Amino acid sequence: MANVAVEAGVTGTGITRREFLYYIWGASMALFTAQAAGLLIWYLIPRFREGEFGGAFVLPVDSLPEVNGEPVNFPEGRFWLVNLDTTNPQGQERMYRAPDEDSEIKGVAAIYKVCTHLGCIYAWTPANNRFECPCHGSKYRLDGRRIESPAPRTLDRFRVDALAADKQTVLASSELKDNFWMPLELPPDTAFLRIDTGDKKNGPSQTLLCSFTDSCP
């Protein structure tokens, strides 16, 4: 009888070798499917939650500074919010149009708080109407354009969306020009701003503003 069982492929547990292999194959497939599903879920879950750096910040529109006013600091999002208008005669000492800018600069921008030179945290200096970096002296205009080096480029910016009162409907979004976020002119119905700190673009290497006045050190 034992010989008959071995020939039929029956194991000591009462299942045939073929059934045993089927079970192993089924278990492997179940494990593989579970792993794939886990990876997919991990990929789909947002890495950063709203309100933490790397994610989006939704702010009421009255968080904005006045036009060409001093920038508003959002330390938790690591950005400065600025409201720019080179056509506004008030505050033009802060936001003026440079000779190489062929159009007016108007709208809202969210500027990353890290200096483009070696990564220090710069600050707004009200007495001089500009951002100044304490580490090596780089200076930037209200919109982040560099005035003096050693900064190699203008300050980086985050994408801005204008939202309706439901906080969902997007009325307008920052546009890219040469892969850099342009200031966003807000539509009249804007109730909230969404700043996406996961969508940063590097500032361009424009001419230093001090070069136009021969005042570079």
**Is residue 150 near ligand FES by the rule CB under 6 A?**
yes
User: Of the ranges 47-55, 75-83, 133-141, 165-173, which one interacts with ligand FES (CB under 6 A)?
Assistant: 133-141
**In a 3-state reduction of DSSP, which class is residue 53?**
strand
The DSSP line for 161-206 is EEE-TTS--EEEE--EETTEEPPBPPPTT--EEEEEEEEEEPPP-P
Nearest approach in angstroms of CB 137 to ligand FES is 6
The least CB distance from residue 116 to ligand FES, in Å, is: 8
Q: In a 10 Å sphere around its CB, with 0-12 CB exposed, 13-18 middle and 19+ buried, how is residue 41 labelled?
A: exposed
User: Which of 78, 94, 113, 117 is in the footprint of ligand FES by CB under 6 A?
Assistant: 117
* Contact by Cβ (8 Å): 162, 184: yes
Contact predicate 78/114, CB 8 Å: yes
Strand partners, 72: 81
Give the contact letters, 17-46, x = binds to ligand FES (CB under 6 A), - = no: ------------------------------
**Out of 120, 123, 191, 210, the residue judged to bind ligand FES by CB under 6 A:** 120
| Nearest residue (CB) to ligand FES, 57 versus 112 | 112
Instruction: Return residues touching ligand FES (CB under 6 A).
Output: 115, 117-120, 133, 135-138, 150-151
